[in-house]
Amino acid sequence: DGTPLADLIDLERHEVSLRLLTDPEVFRLELDRLFSRVWTVLAHETEIPNAFDYVARDIGLDPVIVTRSRDGSINVVHNVCSHRGMQVCRAEAGNEKQFKCPYHGWSFNEQGRFMGSPVARENMHGEFRAKEELALKKARVQTYAGFVFATWDQEAPPLEEYLGEIKFYLDLMFDRTESGLEVLGPPQRFVIPANWKCPGEQHAGDGYHAMTLHRSINELGGSESDDSSMYGIDVSANGHGLRLIDRRKGKWKNNREAVLKAQTLPPFEKLRTIMLPPGLTPEMAEELKDKLTEDQIRVLADYPPSVGGLFPNMGTFCFEFPTPMGMAAIISWHSFVPKGPDEFEFVNWFLVEKDAPQEFKDLMRRAATLGLGTTGFVETDDADTWPMMTEASKGFMGRRGTIKYGALTGEDQPLTGYWDKGEFPGGGHLYPGFTKDDSQWNWWLRWRDFMLGEPWGPDAHH
Ligand code: FES
């Protein structure tokens, strides 16, 4: 309606126009200015362990194939035939040396190179372009902890820089042992009739909702919604957000004596005494000492990370969950792939340490399905909420409404009472105390940078 995009986020009042959720024009701009540029996760490399394995995924609305070459390298190629635009790969996953387009039969190798057509090209009047011109487009690919990220943007900074200071904390969940993680089967995928930003901004920092929306989990004895997930330090960097849990509060209060007794121990001994990170046996935990820095272990011992979000459309989980067989760990990574202004696909990877014993893996699979699966306890709560937010943004009044991010701790608060051992070893903006809106507000500021076309500038480090 002519309102400049920049005016739909009120920097003074910390409010965001509800219409940003589903306006079709905004969605079109997101494809062109955001999903064309960000690094986003498409797969975990253990999904395609062998040469010529592949999975079909999407970057924004663009279908892509994630493939592995004979030399082990990973490619992401546009799954759109250079002839007339048919998808050359119609399966979800498999092993192929060549993809043959089902429309007229052109073939492409796993790197997207044009390999031939059913009729000699000389006989195809006019189709004399160089083979290179007929190749499928390739995205830039980099990996972190086995996760395959891709971007179309040649100017995007390297993935490590894109992750920035949040990587220090991600390592504590996803890159903490020599052998690393593997997937517990293919990711669960389901479509939710909601805008992708509902889960996107939520995962950046909304610990607040767990105490109400996920209350049933607490009543079942779970960890997600008791106050252990409410207090700690919210970390925010480059639009990414992560909550560090204060181990002295919440469910650890039942273990108070051990926690207090452990305070004088060296970091790793303290970690081992109080509670190992989810998903590790005592033997595997020894590997932490080789893989993580002393500073990382110090943070892990007192403020383990749990739930977080990577800008713009990824979520991370690492926590214990109650099952009929007892507490079990869930390690999960989500991607919220846009399908339109009011629909996204939830792609949900469950992971486990490669070196874990088989019964440990089986238990984690059960826990993941019970907790975060399509019929589980957690995401099903959210899957009711996000569509209602989305619908609200379409009405006459809804389009004129705003969503509020006024519960801000503010920049660079001292960690008084939360870290009393000199300077906090982790980076990023740190917001101590009860979880608030800072990380989510920073997420919107980062979104704004992309939408105004200035994502890689010097001021883009929220
Ligand atoms: Fe693929 Fe024609 S569209 S061969």
Confidence band, pLDDT 50/70/90 cuts, at residue 462: low
pLDDT of residue 234: 92
Q: Return mean pLDDT, the chain.
A: 89
User: Whose alpha carbon is nearest atom 4 of ligand 1?
Assistant: 104
Which two structure tokens, joined as six digits, stand for 460?
A: 């883009």
pLDDT over 90 at 119, yes or no: no
Ligand 1 pocket: which of 77, 82, 103, 117 to mutate (most atoms within 8 A of CB): 103
- pLDDT tens for 177-206 read 999 999 999 999 999 999 999 999 999 888
The CATH architecture to which 40-146 belongs is 3-layer Sandwich (2.102)
Instruction: Indicate whether residue 114 lines ligand 1 (CB < 6 A).
Output: no
Query: Which string of b and e fits 222-261 if b means at least 16 CB within 10 Å?
Result: bbbbbbbbbbbbbbbbbbbbbbbbbbbbbbbeeeeeebee
According to CATH, the superfamily of the domain at 165-451 is Naphthalene 1,2-dioxygenase Alpha Subunit; Chain A, domain 1 (3.90.380.10)
pLDDT surpassing 50 at residue 6: yes
Q: How confident is the model at residue 225 (pLDDT cuts 50, 70, 90)?
A: very low
What's residue 302's pLDDT?
A: 87
Q: What is the pLDDT of residues 75-97, one digit of tens each?
A: 999 999 999 999 999 999 999 99
- Contact between 435 and 207 under an 8 Å Cβ cutoff? The reply is yes
Give the residue whose CA is nearest to atom 2 of ligand 1: 104
Q: Is the CB of 80 under 6 A from ligand 1?
A: no
Q: How far is the CA of 80 from the centre of ligand 1 (A)?
A: 9
Q: Is the CB of 31 under 6 A from ligand 1?
A: no
Q: Where in the chain is the domain with CATH 3.90.380.10?
A: 165-451
The pLDDT tens digits of the residues spanning 8-41 come to 999 999 999 999 999 999 999 999 999 999 999 9
Percent of the chain with pLDDT over 90: 63
d(CA 398, CA 452): 24
Asked whether the predicted pLDDT for residue 433 surpasses 80, the reply is yes
Task: Judge if the beta carbon of residue 366 lies within 6 A of ligand 1.
Answer: no
* CATH 2.102.10.10 domain extents, the chain: 40-146
- Identify the pLDDT of residue 129: 75
Taken as a whole, the chain contains a residue count of 462
In the predicted model, is pLDDT for residue 51 greater than 60? yes
User: Is residue 83 within 6 Å of ligand 1 at its C-beta?
Assistant: yes
Ligand 1 binding pocket includes 81 (Cβ within 6 Å): yes
pLDDT of 141 > 80? The answer is: yes
CB 172 within 8 A of CB 199: no
Summarize the confidence of residues 257-269 as an average pLDDT: 80
- Assign 458 a pLDDT band (cuts: 50, 70, 90): low
The whole-number pLDDT of residue 224 equals: 45
